[in-house]
Amino acid sequence: MNKSMLMVILLLVSSNVTANIIVDKTGVDEKDYIYDLHQCTELSTQVQKTDTSSSAVGSAAKGAAIGSAGKAIAGGSGTDGAKQGAAIGLGLGVLSNGRSRRNDAAKFEAEQQQVVKNCMVNRGYVVLN
């Protein structure tokens, strides 16, 4: 495969998975830039995605335990408190789980972009953002 074909392939691949960075390209060879950006983007795929979300079922169980204890302390039926606590815990667990997933995804993308930025700076490029 000739060198120009390789550069076209690298350009297509890197344009699909690049981080949102702005580089001052004054005096920069475009082929070297594309190659370096591709390599830095490949390095950013090593960032590990974290999963800190809890299960909605676990939240329901916690809610049931807290509701049961609270109702029993107040002098009511622990069973009624458990039912109400489980319902509330399940609802909160679903909402919390969605928020945690969105936060994890945003953190993952930010870490990948930071890896690309650091890599490009280490290769001598002036990253403006």
**If 0-12 CB within 10 Å is exposed, 13-18 middle and 19+ buried, where does residue 41 land?**
buried
Instruction: Please give the Cα distance from 88 to 90 (Å, whole number).
Output: 5
Give residue-wise pLDDT tens across range 26-73.
Answer: 999 999 999 999 999 999 999 988 776 555 556 656 666 666 655 555
Would you state the structure tokens that stand for residue 88, as one six-digit string? 């509330």
Rounded to two decimals, the pTM is 0.56
Q: Which of 84, 87, 60 is nearest to 72 (CA)?
A: 84
